Structures are given as C-alpha cells and as structure tokens.
Amino acid sequence: MENQLAELKNEIEFLRDEVAFNRLVFASLYRKLSKEARKQFEKELSNDVAHAALVSEQAKFQIHLQRFLNLVQD
C-alpha cells in the first residue's frame, strides 16, 4: 500500500512538471503569434472552453439521471 502511495505521489509530481513545461512551451509559441492570430486563438479557445463546460454539465446530468432511473427501477 505504501509503495502504491509513493508511486501515485511520483506520478502526480511528474504530471505537475509536465504541465509546467507545457505552459512554458505554450507561452513561447503564443508570444510569436501576431496580434490578429492571438485574437483569433483566444476566440477559438473561449468557444472550446464554453463547449467543454456544456458537455461536462450534460455528462453530469446524464450520470445523475441514470442514477435516478436506477433508483426508481429498484
């Protein structure tokens, strides 16, 4: 059990480092974009985030609905 916990902690630390690295790469690439390209990217990113939030909420609703139906059927 302790080994599994240590492995999970190592995995979390690795993922944190990977996210930090990806942020640096993204920032470097983002700075090289023209002002117009930045605006377009930000607009697309905003739309993607809004869509992801909607999909996430729909998925949560689907899970709760399924749990409710399972409860009613039992």
Query: In this predicted model, what pLDDT tens digit does every residue of 62-72 receive, in sequence order?
Result: 988 888 888 87
pLDDT over threshold 80, residue 51 = yes
Confidence of residue 32 (pLDDT cuts 50, 70, 90): very high
Q: What is the pLDDT of residue 71?
A: 80
For residue 17, give the nearest of 69, 25, 66 by alpha carbon. 25
Q: What is the pLDDT of residue 42?
A: 93
Q: What is the pLDDT of residue 72?
A: 79
| Distance, CA of 30 to CA of 44 (rounded, Å) | 14
